[in-house]
Amino acid sequence: MADTYTEPRDSRGEWQPEELPQVVPLFRWPLKIVGILKFLFWPGGYLLGWNSVYIGVGVLAWLFLTPSLERMASFRLDWIALIYLRNAALLTFFAGGMHLRLYMKRAQGNHFKYTNKWLSTDNKKFLFRNQTKDNIFWNFASGCVIWTGYEAVSHWAFANELIPLVSWSENPIYIILILLAIGFMRDMHFYWTHRFSHWKPLYKSAHYLHHKNVNIGPWSGLSMHPIEHILYMSGILLHWVIPSHPIHALAHVMHAGLSPTPGHTGFDKFVLKAGQQDNKERSVAVPGGYFHYLHHKYFTVNFGGGMVPFDKWFGSWHDGSPEIHEIMMARRKRKKSA
């Protein structure tokens, strides 16, 4: 597809959306009931947006693509391998599908793309000198392995009653409420583990690998060092402490495995139906896309996912506006002079 769109870009080829990141209505003061209800129940919001996709995939995976707890009561390579293949297939569908459409077919060109640069194909900082191949390697050689390992150990622990298992038949409302809370749980866990990953020793030994992707693509989301994968996927351990059902642990780790993909596409929206002439373009917004893109651009801002505004509360918020950018630069200057 040719770049027929005329979005304004700066001298470096960068573009930013008109609607900049904001604190979600649940944490905005004064509280506005209509805004909160839209955030929770409106199409594209918390319950009818990407968050529900990840949780829904987790629920379906538990119902149809996961061995029985009885089978998982003892460690066996056969069922663990099935879980790995299921996770790898889902990751391929999400990341591979978005990469195919946006970067191989370039189906929407640069439309809604934050930068006009494409992924590196001859850069020695990446394995095989190729950014996409490098990212795919870390996704499957480390990401899916550690994802599967956490999931397998959790299922085994549930099956052997090493951690309390909440009954679906006796506690259906509780189980549904915990499922609905996973998006918030993930965001809180991600902020603190991600901020910890920027601790200098940990950054130099592990997190630097993820940040080689300054110009991000769909496979960049789960392209991490094994140390970081261990830290990143550890959110599933919350369900070893919070009374849970295995469906919660699976939905949680499925959310962690799949949600980085759209947020790392480097696009603000996915065009579903082009129609510049007749004004019938249809597009879907990418959750947290620009917010996280700014993290890869500046490194020291936006450590969270933007749902729970820890960045706002702890001074690392950046929405792309000139005012906030000046604050960030002043803070950096003070830090250097200290």
What is the reported pLDDT for 336? 80
Picking from 103, 92, 146, 168, the residue whose alpha carbon sits closest to that of residue 256 is 146
Residues, the chain, total?
Answer: 338
What is the reported pLDDT for 5? 59
Task: Please state, in angstroms and rounded to a whole number, the distance separating the CA atoms of residues 221 and 122.
Answer: 20
Element (H, E) at 284: strand 282-285
Task: Please state, in angstroms and rounded to a whole number, the distance separating the CA atoms of residues 282 and 145.
Answer: 37
What is the reported pLDDT for 331? 85
150 touches 233 (CB < 8 A) = yes
Tell whether pTM > 0.75: yes
User: Which sign does the torsion angle of CA 79, 85, 89, 91 carry?
Assistant: positive
243 touches 261 (CB < 8 A) = no
What is the reported pLDDT for 83? 98
Task: Please state, in angstroms and rounded to a whole number, the distance separating the CA atoms of residues 296 and 294.
Answer: 5
What Rg do the C-alpha atoms of the chain give, in angstroms?
Answer: 20
Task: Please state, in angstroms and rounded to a whole number, the distance separating the CA atoms of residues 35 and 57.
Answer: 27
Picking from 314, 98, 298, the residue whose alpha carbon sits closest to that of residue 188 is 314
Picking from 42, 50, 129, 147, the residue whose alpha carbon sits closest to that of residue 91 is 147
The token pair that represents 121 in the structure block: 């194909």
Task: Please state, in angstroms and rounded to a whole number, the distance separating the CA atoms of residues 50 and 69.
Answer: 28
DSSP 8-state code for residue 286: P
7 touches 15 (CB < 8 A) = yes
Q: Omega into 67 within 30° of 0, i.e. cis? A: no
Task: Please state, in angstroms and rounded to a whole number, the distance separating the CA atoms of residues 268 and 293.
Answer: 10
What is the reported pLDDT for 26? 95
What is the reported pLDDT for 286? 87
What is the reported pLDDT for 280? 67
pLDDT along the chain (338 residues), means of 10: 64 92 94 96 92 96 97 97 98 98 96 96 97 98 98 98 92 96 97 98 98 97 98 98 96 98 96 64 86 96 95 95 92 81
At 83-137, the pLDDT tens digits run: 999 999 999 999 999 999 999 999 999 999 999 999 999 999 999 999 999 999 9
